């Protein structure tokens, strides 16, 4: 599920992802398809330095956004600084979480500037085939 904007319509997506991970780095490249005709690419490259993780996420805009965060259990939690204003500001939260033996969840949460509430703006659940 992806929101085109806060308060907008939810769009279901189908995604493919390739990833590589080591003890100190993770990289992923994928594509998502919506409405059977729109395809968008995304990628993330993250490195660990002690307990801190830093890297870049490139989404549908093609512009790299900055990731800074840490690991908690099976999840990497990042503060995102978008390359451009998104939903009224350049900040959001992104989580990359291992789910079960073969699953991965990518989720972004943004703040609705009008209400101050946190809103899940994308949640993509992937399964290894």
pLDDT given at position 35: 82
Contacts of 98 (CB under 8 A, 6+ apart): 74, 75, 104
- The per-residue pLDDT for range 45-97, each reduced to its tens digit, is 999 999 999 999 999 889 999 999 999 999 999 999 999 999 999 999 999 99
Structural domains of the chain in order of their starting residue, each with its CATH number: 2-127 (2.40.128)
Whether the pLDDT of residue 129 is over 70: the answer is no
Structural contact between residues 62 and 82, judged by C-beta atoms closer than 8 angstroms: no
Query: Could you give the CA distance from residue 30 to residue 44 in angstroms, rounded to a whole number?
Result: 9
* 125 vs 127, residue with greater confidence: 125
Average pLDDT value for the chain: 93
pTM: 0.91
Give the separation between CA 106 and CA 116, rounded to whole angstroms: 23
């Amino acid at each position: 599920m992806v929101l085109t904007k806060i308060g907008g319509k939810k769009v279901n997506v189908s995604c493919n992802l390739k990833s590589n991970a080591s003890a100190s780095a993770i990289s992923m490249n994928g594509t998502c398809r919506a409405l059977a005709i729109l395809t968008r690419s995304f990628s993330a490259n993250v490195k660990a330095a002690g307990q801190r993780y830093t890297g870049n996420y490139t989404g549908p805009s093609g512009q790299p956004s900055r990731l800074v965060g840490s690991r908690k259990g099976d999840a990497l939690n990042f503060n995102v600084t978008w390359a451009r204003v998104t939903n009224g500001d350049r900040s959001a939260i992104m989580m990359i979480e291992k789910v079960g033996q073969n699953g991965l969840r990518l989720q972004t949460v943004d703040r609705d500037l009008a209400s101050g509430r946190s809103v899940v703006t994308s949640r993509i659940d992937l399964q290894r085939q």
